[in-house]
Amino acid sequence: MTIDIESNSFERTLVIFKPDCLERHLVGLILNRFEDKGLKIVGIKMIWMPKEKGEIHYEQHKQKPFFDFLVQYITSGPVIVGILEGKDAISVVRRMIGPTNSREASPGTIRGDFSMSQQNTLIHSSDSIEAAKREINIFFKGEEVVPWKRTIKNRLYGEEELQ
């Protein structure tokens, strides 16, 4: 079953907290930033990514010289994969993370505040609706996504949240 990434004007995006993020004990701090922004966690789990899944995840880079490094890195330790939901979640999360080359990331972004590397970049997020749909379905089964409604009146978006 394919997991829907768009519902009631909300998007879902995949995030991967990479091995260096776990080793540096930054997962909680970074996840808290997403929650503080108003994004909702609808799926999360820790895995040790098998090589085959890493190759599928990075298949668009298969012909590039850094492909083997990407796969080796993402499979070198445990990762946490999660699904975040919110209005414009894909672009919001990408802006919060900052550019891939962490040395070019602005202060206030995750990479700008916590990384100096172009390779060990702490976190991955989907870069488009198509990528989010593909990536979420690599790592999650339908029953692992838990849609839920907030029980308090939400003022995050200037209107009552629909979910």
Count how many residues are written for the chain.
Answer: 163
How far is residue 92 from each of residues 39, 44, 100, 101, 107, measured CA to CA in Å?
9, 19, 15, 18, 16
User: How remote is the C-alpha of 23 from its chain's centroid?
Assistant: 17
pLDDT for 1 beyond 80: no
Confidence (pLDDT) at 119: 82
Q: Among 2-16, 45-59, 107-121, which range has the highest average pLDDT?
A: 45-59
User: Are 106 and 114 spatial neighbours (Cβ–Cβ below 8 Å)?
Assistant: no
Question: For 58-68, what is the mean pLDDT?
Answer: 94
Name the residue ranges covered by the structural domains of the chain: 23-142
Architecture of the domain delimited by 23-142: 2-Layer Sandwich (3.30)
Q: Chain-wide mean pLDDT for the chain? A: 91
pTM of the model: 0.89
Confidence (pLDDT) at 120: 87
Residue from 25, 57, 61, 124 carrying the catalytic annotation: 124
CA separation for the pair 32, 42 (Å, rounded)? 14
Q: Is 25 a catalytic residue?
A: no
pLDDT in tens, 117-148: 888 899 999 999 999 999 999 999 999 999 88
